[in-house]
């Protein structure tokens, strides 16, 4: 399959690409697109329309995977599904709304079907995915409880410190460590554990991506 990956940084994209191959159990061809004007979660929200249009009209990509960190925004819930029920502060809801609007305006591609889209929200950050299994507190459910109680067992900077040895790693180190940890998850056959620990942000992504192999 030919798949594009849009995330908050190129380091995130490198790690997510590995996880996608693990879910599909095959190598994929990564489709490139013009570098977004800015990164971070706001940059992705701004760029996703341009990226989707570029892939649709100028490439033969099969699919697009978009991931964001949730930070301290509301975690997606089933109650958000359905017309008029989305949460404007939920980043998965925001992405779904943008993507649905863009896809409804695209003309059919000659010889290609519509681009499939999968969304992943790392709660609270992609470092949590890559540290899965190292600490019982690093789970979606623990973070959801923390959001409700305002008592946080760790901060995003703590996750970075654990993974990189620094809360502000340079991009090269960030990329190396994220890629290493993503490969380790595959080597240890821990994708199912990742789904169990992060059923909303990673689990929903996994279900959608696996459907592409059928």
Domain that holds residue 25: 2-211
Residues 112-163: tens digit of each pLDDT: 889 999 999 999 999 999 999 888 889 999 999 999 999 998 999 999 999 9
Residues 82-100: tens digit of each pLDDT: 666 676 889 999 999 999 9
Helices 171-187, 156-164: axis angle to 10 degrees equals 80
pLDDT of residue 199: 94
What is the pLDDT of the chain when averaged over all its residues? 93
Q: At residue 80, does pLDDT exceed 60?
A: no
How many domains are contained in the chain? 1
Contact assessment for residue 147 and residue 75, using Cβ atoms and an 8 Å cutoff: yes
Q: CB-based contacts of 27: which residues, under 8 Å, 6+ apart?
A: 21
pLDDT of residue 86: 72
């Amino acid at each position: 399959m030919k798949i594009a990956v849009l995330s908050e940084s190129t380091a995130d994209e490198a790690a997510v690409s590995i996880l996608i191959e693990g879910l599909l159990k095959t190598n994929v061809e990564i489709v490139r697109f013009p570098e977004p004007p800015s990164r971070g979660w706001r940059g992705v929200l701004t760029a996703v329309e341009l990226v989707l249009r570029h892939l649709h009209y100028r490439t033969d990509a099969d699919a697009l995977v978009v991931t964001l960190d949730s930070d301290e925004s509301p975690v997606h819930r089933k109650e958000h599904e359905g017309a008029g029920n989305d949460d404007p502060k939920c980043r998965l809801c925001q992405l779904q709304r943008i993507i649905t609007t863009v896809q409804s305006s695209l003309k059919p591609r000659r010889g290609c079907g519509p681009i499939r889209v999968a969304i992943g929200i790392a709660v609270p950050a992609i470092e949590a995915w890559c540290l899965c299994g190292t600490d019982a507190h690093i789970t979606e459910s623990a973070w959801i409880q923390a959001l409700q109680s305002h008592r946080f067992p760790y901060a995003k900077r703590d996750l970075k410190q654990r993974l990189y040895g620094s809360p502000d790693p340079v991009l090269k180190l960030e990329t190396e460590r994220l890629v290493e940890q993503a490969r380790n998850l595959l080597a240890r056959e821990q994708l199912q554990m990742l789904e169990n620990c992060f059923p909303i942000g990673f689990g929903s992504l996994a279900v959608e991506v696996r459907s592409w192999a059928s």
